Amino acid sequence: MRVLAQALAPLTLLVALTSQAQGDEAPGSAQARANFNRAVVLAADDVRAFDKPPTGFDVEQPAIAHGRVEEFGYDSAVTKTRRQALVYLPAGYDAARRYPVLYLLHGIGGNQHEWSSYVRATAVLDALIAQGRARPMVVVMPNGRAQADDRPPAPERTFTPEHVAAFTAFEADLIGSLVPAIDGKYATTADAQGRAIAGLSMGGGQALNFGLSHPDTFTWVGGFSSAPNTRPAAELLRGKDAARHQLKLLYLSCGNRDGLINISQSMHRELRDLGIPHVWNVDEYGHDRESWAENLYHFAQRLFR
């Protein structure tokens, strides 16, 4: 829980130090703490959909072919700034071919490096692609905080309405600026069948919100440990019966020790009641990188089939 520990430890400290601190705390902090501390209530179908990956699945293996990660700059019509993303190109990337693209979104305290550095996504992808268990794909890891200064804020500002709003504003940046820029530079299939979006926590909420409401852009969607920014399925899919048929994969996961699991449970139950097929994988982690690495492992193997 390193990312959140970084974001939350100072908050906890602040409150511990000043028992009547309520009024001094930045808006959003108390609510976030309450959300993380919510009691987990499990139903019979809140169980693993897949076995645990083999040991070492998220460790770089020197003996196999590696993809490369490069910096990608693009002009954002939303922030009016030049923004940075990381792009993973699979081993043997050849501009004469065409590749599907996965957009991977980070959590509230992270940035474009979170998936590669903290979760070790490139080690997971290198191994799956080398074994032929995932299709070679381009993976775009953007900064999902669409504001001019998009650095992670000071810990006590993590949950302010302004900061949360920057994650909402990323929808227009992604659809209007980043996706076209990626398709302009890389050898992508550049259609909805060849585009996936997934994320962890705040990024999970973004992936579900943006993926489900843009069926012409994405048909493969994954939310891992999704945060309270997740909108209800009925709202996301309303009047979009077409999305139901075009969606190739809708994937939800969460740890059964994660206080935010009620968000994913609600989405799962809503989808089930609407009759919308989806994967629901509940593992035994908290709000942890292990859950995110494992779910990337399971999700990536099911993409672009």
Minimum separation from the CB atom of position 249 to ligand FER (A): 22
Min CB(114)–ligand FER separation in Å = 10
- Residue 199 belongs to what H/E stretch? strand 195-200
| For ligand FER, the closer CB: 67 or 204 | 204
Using rule CB under 6 A, residue 122 touches ligand FER: no
Minimum distance from residue 1 beta carbon to ligand FER (Å)? 9
Task: Give whichever of 32 and 261 is closer to ligand FER, judged by the CB atom.
Answer: 32
Query: Whole-number minimum distance, CB 31 to ligand FER, in Å?
Result: 5
Radius of gyration, CA atoms only, the chain: 19
**For ligand FER, which is the closer residue by CB, 74 or 224?**
224
Q: If binding is defined by CB under 6 A, does position 267 make contact with ligand FER?
A: no
Q: Contact region for ligand FER (CB under 6 A) — 30-38, 82-90, 96-104, 115-123?
A: 30-38
Q: Is 108 in the site for ligand FER (CB under 6 A)?
A: yes
- DSSP one-letter code for 298: H
201 binds ligand FER (CB under 6 A): yes
Residues near 102 by Cβ (< 8 Å), separated by ≥ 6? 137, 138, 139, 140, 195, 196, 197, 198, 220, 300, 303
Helix and strand numbers (H, E) in the chain are 10, 8
Q: Residues 32-61, buried b or exposed e (16+ Cβ, 10 A)?
A: bbeebeeebeeeeebeeebeebeeebbeee
Sheet with 279-283: strands ordered across: 68-75, 82-89, 138-141, 101-105, 195-200, 220-224, 249-255, 279-283
Does 263 contact ligand FER by CB under 6 A? no
* Closest of 217, 213, 233, 208 to residue 177, by C-alpha: 217
SS3 248: coil
Please say which residue, 29 or 122, places its beta carbon nearer to ligand FER: 29
Q: Which of 1, 10, 14, 35 binds ligand FER (CB under 6 A)?
A: 35
Could you say which residues in the range 138-167 bind ligand FER, by CB under 6 A?
159, 164
Residue 290: CB atoms within 10 A of its CB come to: 16
Among 134, 140, 227, 271, binds ligand FER (CB under 6 A): 227
Contact between 107 and ligand FER per CB under 6 A: yes
**Nearest to 199, CA basis, from 242, 141, 146, 246:** 141
Which letter does DSSP use for residue 220 in this model? E
Query: What's the closest the beta carbon of residue 53 comes to ligand FER, in angstroms?
Result: 22
Please tell me the distance from the alpha carbon of residue 108 to that of residue 6, in angstroms, as a whole number. 11
* Residue of 22, 31, 61, 131 interacting with ligand FER (CB under 6 A): 31
Question: Tokens 């897949």, residue?
Answer: 50
- Return the number of the residue (35 or 246) whose C-beta is nearest ligand FER: 35
Q: How far is the CB of 281 from ligand FER (least distance, A)?
A: 18
Q: Any contact of residue 226 with ligand FER (CB under 6 A)?
A: no
Q: Which is nearer to ligand FER, 206 or 219 (by Cβ)?
A: 206
Instruction: List interacting residues with ligand FER (CB under 6 A).
Output: 4, 31-32, 35, 107-108, 159, 164, 201-202, 227-229
